[in-house]
Structure 1
Amino acid sequence: MHFYMHIAHKALTSINRMTQNIAPQKNQRLLALDVFRGMTIAFMILVNTPGSWSHVFPPLLHASWHGATPTDMVFPFFIFIVGVSMFFSFSKFDQGLTSELTKKIIKRTITIFMIGLLLNYFPFFNRSLDTLRIMGVLQRIALVYGAASLICISVSIQSIWKIGTGILLTYWGLLYWLGGAEPFSLEGNITTAVDLAILGENHIYKGFGIPFDPEGLLSTLPAIVTAMFGYLAGYTVQSFNDKNLLVKNLLLIGTSTVLLALVWDTVFPINKPIWSSSYVLFAGGIACITLALLIEIIDIRGYNRWTKPFIVFGMNPMIIFVFSGVLSKVMVYIITWKDAEGETVRFYRWCYETIYMGAFPNQAKLASLCFAMTVVSICWAFGYVLYRKKIFIKV
């Protein structure tokens, strides 16, 4: 164990050296960043709203436990982009922590967390606070944003690497030494014990068959590093006026990080539900590579006509994501009626089975995908109205 921790520390330190000699340049905005954000939100909505969870193409499902699918990249991509946006947002404060900025960070953290909690509680009728799930996607984003912001704005770039490395190694040690006989398993990982002790069984996600929250408290710790990784990527973006050199450096950092993650995977498996340290590096590396490719395609080669739909998503990502959650819950819980037998019919299921299965008989997965694409289109239309009216909601 100590040997692998030493190797991991050395490898992470080598990535740190890649950025030590980079000097920040004047602020530059890249279309690729907005497109990346928009693509991530669109894909997040797509994988969250299939017509039927029983009929989904494998790439649109999460890995059952260890490993990663394209869907497992969506959430860390969004947190990575939050980190990138943090860097550019904090530039106006000269990257220094002030009382004004601290208040803004705390206010935004509380606001996003409460929106997530209200989304869990929606629709508010026939819902009991005794069984309300406390954590969730927006709640994790809130906590990650708050913690990562305060860290990144308070220390030097080199210190961010050191703190991030320390968090990932500490998290690995906590799971390894405090877990059960199989410390990285669903039943044996320590994150569940922490959530049960603090949140209580009634307030934890149970979609894995047992009380286990994939957006729990302890596993939020390494997710903070995902945002810090994005912050460092933002620093790298601003540090190169030469976009070709920027792309090369992002590819170098991304590839090195992915390779390190694959090595670490042999002893600490890549795993989204527990947000393992190797998963942080794997997803962060893939995000760097994706950003580099988008910069090459969009900002350097100028192939940007296809980006317009994603820009709509990227300009109002948070509000569109919330809208998608409300929309799906309205179709499940509010638009309902009784059939001839007196059974409750939910519009969400009726729409999938009647309209989409009717259009694609004997092709349940395709029907399910088309349903999800329709939801994405509705969310895009909502975002387009905001975009045309130049309404950009900053939560």
Structure 2
Amino acid sequence: MKAWWQRHCDGILQQLPADRLLALDLFRGITITAMILVNNPGSWVHIYAPLRHAEWHGWTPTDLIFPFFIYIVGVSMQLSLSKQQRSRPAQLLSGSLRSLKLIALGLMLALAYYNLRDPNFDWVEQRLLVLRYPGVLQRIGVVYFISLLLVLVLAWRGRLLSALLLCGVYLLAMFGLTYQDDAGNSYRGLLEYGNNFAAWLDHRLLGPNHLLYRSATPFSFDPEGLWSTLPAISSCLAGVLTAQYLQQPGALTSKIKTLLLFGVAAVLLAELWHGWLPINKALWTPSFVLLSTGYAWLVLALSLWLCDIRGYRRWTAPFVVFGANAILFFVAAGLVARLLGMIPIGTTVLQPWLYRSWFQPFFGNELGSLMFALCFLLLAYLAMYGCYRKGWIWKV
């Protein structure tokens, strides 16, 4: 068994291009694996605390997953652009198409549901006309495009200044602009659930029916909403700047130490800042940007040390499989999860039936929910490995 697993992992790594940064593939693979794990529990009621999002202010490990992915988008963007020989207009056109594809995929996922148990279900009325506009892929698409624009026209100082200015403009509006509810009550400077400038903007421009938290009061809002996209761009630019630093001449061990130092400093500063500006993933506050970027530096530094300094490469292979097809993995997992929530089984649907019939009786509530997610990942790995082995890499 051990010999088979070693051959399996070696075969995966041998397919990687020679100039591929394995540490980044590892980081991306771990991130998308964690994203699918937390998105597919056996029961949304029975989840271990670290696998939940923070209810509002504060953070859990789950809250770091999405900003990690945004950060990795920035790292990958810089590494890709530095290898390309195309003109800026060509790069911009390619980036625009990629952004539109990501947004379209996100909207497709939002629409991919039909209630097979309800003969009166009206897909147009109950799905299309109340389509949630924001989403994970939609935010990645928007952040990618705006970051690409900035990267194409600015040098590193301009990119750093843009990241800081975006956070500054975000804070000026959140604390400085006055807004009103439907009853005429005025507010300013709040960071409450359903009552902050970002929520007000989502509520007014997108409409309550097209947001995730449509029942929030006094304003419906979305965690991937409009105004919080500004600091999310800063998270992406942090990845761009990191890649630029890694591309500079110098010893890798020295760069790893710098990433570790900056990572620890950023996390500590974010926690100190939390007392004045709460760390909040749904609002993507600048303190959250600092915290998640700090941890991203630490994870990337650890990945570089393990893969490139210590040479521990074989164990990374399963994550390389997931990371190589991250968008396909995310979209396919989302579609399968929706199917599990649509197929009727008696008085329920397939996903909760599987959990209650097989996983909960054998493992209990929380552990059974986790085991369901792990089995989902195992089956997904078999499918993604088949794609990887045949060279089917879906590039959006």
**Aligned residue in 1 for 2:201:** 194
Question: How has the CA–CA distance of structure 1 residues 181 and 217 changed in structure 2, closer, same or farther, with 3 Å as cutoff?
Answer: closer
Is residue 49 from structure 1 mapped to residue 40 from structure 2 by the alignment?
yes
Is residue 185 from structure 1 mapped to residue 192 from structure 2 by the alignment?
yes
Question: How has the CA–CA distance of structure 1 residues 245 and 29 changed in structure 2, closer, same or farther, with 3 Å as cutoff?
Answer: farther
Contact 2:27 / 2:300 at 8 angstroms: preserved in 1?
Answer: yes
- Cα displacement (A) at 1:383: 1.0
Secondary structure at 2:123 match in 1: coil
- Cα displacement (A) at 1:307: 0.9
2:248 to 239, 246, 249: 239
- Cα displacement (A) at 1:182: 5.7
**Aligned residue in 2 for 1:175:** 174
Aligned pairs (5 A) from 1:212-361: 212-333=221-342, 335-337=343-345, 339=346, 343=347, 345-360=348-363
Q: Runs of 5+ in structure 2 lacking a partner?
A: 1-17, 116-121, 179-186
Deviation per CA, 1:31-59, whole angstroms, max 9, x where unpaired?
Answer: 11101000000000000111111100000
Contact 1:331 / 1:347 at 8 angstroms: preserved in 2?
Answer: yes
Q: Which runs of 4+ in 1 moved over 4 A?
A: 207-210
- Cα displacement (A) at 1:349: 0.5
2:103 and 2:389 map into 1 onto residues whose CA distance is: 28
**Aligned residue in 1 for 2:28:** 37
Is residue 60 from structure 1 mapped to residue 51 from structure 2 by the alignment?
yes
2:214 and 2:50 map into 1 onto residues whose CA distance is: 19
1:279 and 1:364 map into 2 onto residues whose CA distance is: 31
Q: Runs of 5+ in structure 1 lacking a partner?
A: 1-26
**Aligned residue in 2 for 1:7:** none
2:383 and 2:155 map into 1 onto residues whose CA distance is: 40
Is residue 98 from structure 1 mapped to residue 94 from structure 2 by the alignment?
no
Q: Which stretch of structure 1 is more off in the superposition, 372-381 or 27-36? A: 27-36
**Aligned residue in 1 for 2:109:** 119
- Cα displacement (A) at 1:181: 5.4
- Cα displacement (A) at 1:245: 1.2
* Cα RMSD, aligned residues only: 1.8
1:197 and 1:346 map into 2 onto residues whose CA distance is: 36
- Cα displacement (A) at 1:298: 1.6
Is residue 88 from structure 1 mapped to residue 96 from structure 2 by the alignment?
no
Contact 2:235 / 2:289 at 8 angstroms: preserved in 1?
Answer: yes
Q: TM-score normalized by structure 2? A: 0.87
Deviation per CA, 1:177-215, whole angstroms, max 9, x where unpaired?
Answer: 226356111132111111122111111112775522000
Secondary structure at 1:299 match in 2: helix
Secondary structure at 1:390 match in 2: coil
Identity %: 39
1:275 and 1:285 map into 2 onto residues whose CA distance is: 14
Task: State how many pairs are aligned.
Answer: 360
**Aligned residue in 2 for 1:22:** none
Deviation per CA, 1:122-141, whole angstroms, max 9, x where unpaired?
Answer: 03674232111011000001
Secondary structure at 2:393 match in 1: coil
Q: TM-score normalized by structure 1? A: 0.87
Q: Which stretch of structure 1 is more off in the superposition, 116-125 or 41-50? A: 116-125
Contact 1:320 / 1:382 at 8 angstroms: preserved in 2?
Answer: no
1:164 and 1:206 map into 2 onto residues whose CA distance is: 28
